[in-house]
C-alpha cells in the first residue's frame, strides 16, 4: 500500500473512532435529581440528611449516585438512601453506583450521607437520572 493510502486509512479509522465516541456520548441524557456536599467538622464527623423528589422516571430510566471525594478527601463515607445502604467505602476517589428511587409523583426520597476524616475534608454527591437520548428524526423510520 502506498504511504498516501496508508495515511488516508489511518485518518479514516480515527474519524470513525471519534464518530463512534461522539454517538455514544450523545446516547444518554442525565437529569440532576439532587446534589449536595458533606463536610467533616471539628469532631471528625460530617452528616447530611435531607429529602428530595424524583422528577424523572420511566421504563428506560436508570438512577445513579455520583460521588467525588475531596479536596481534601474524607477518610470514609456512607450513603443510605430510602433506608438502604447504597455506598460505604474507606479511602476512595470517585464513584458511581446504580441506585433505585421512588417513582415520580409519589413520596420523597430520603438520603443520609455520613463522613469521617480530618476537619474540613469533604465529598460532593449527586443523584442523577440517566435516560436514552431521543434519536434524531431522520433515524425514526
pTM reported for the whole predicted model: 0.76
Note the CATH architecture for domain 29-132: Sandwich (2.60)
- pLDDT tens string 23-45: 444 578 999 999 999 999 999 99
Q: Cβ distance 62 to 130 under 8 Å?
A: yes
- pLDDT tens string 74-89: 999 999 999 999 999 9
Residue 96 and residue 82: Cα distance in Å, rounded? 18
Collapsed DSSP state (helix, strand, coil) of residue 79: strand
% of the chain exceeding 90 in pLDDT: 70
| pLDDT confidence of residue 46 | 98
* Residue pointed to by grid coordinates 433515524: 139
| pLDDT confidence of residue 54 | 97
Comparing CA positions, the residue from 38, 57, 55 lying closest to residue 47 is 38
| pLDDT confidence of residue 24 | 47
Amino acid at each position: 500500500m502506498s504511504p498516501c493510502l496508508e495515511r488516508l486509512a489511518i485518518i479514516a479509522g480515527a474519524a470513525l473512532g471519534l464518530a463512534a465516541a461522539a454517538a455514544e456520548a450523545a446516547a444518554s441524557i442525565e437529569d440532576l435529581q439532587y446534589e449536595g456536599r458533606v463536610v467533616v467538622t471539628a469532631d471528625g464527623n460530617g452528616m447530611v440528611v435531607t429529602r428530595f423528589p424524583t422528577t424523572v422516571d420511566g421504563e428506560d430510566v436508570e438512577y445513579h449516585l455520583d460521588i467525588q471525594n475531596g479536596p481534601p478527601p474524607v477518610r470514609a463515607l456512607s450513603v443510605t438512601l430510602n433506608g438502604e445502604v447504597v455506598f460505604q467505602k474507606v479511602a476512595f476517589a470517585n464513584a458511581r453506583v446504580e441506585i433505585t428511587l421512588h417513582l415520580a409523583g409519589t413520596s420523597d426520597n430520603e438520603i443520609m450521607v455520613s463522613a469521617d476524616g480530618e476537619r474540613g475534608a469533604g465529598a460532593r454527591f449527586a443523584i442523577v437520572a440517566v435516560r436514552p437520548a431521543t434519536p434524531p428524526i431522520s433515524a425514526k423510520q
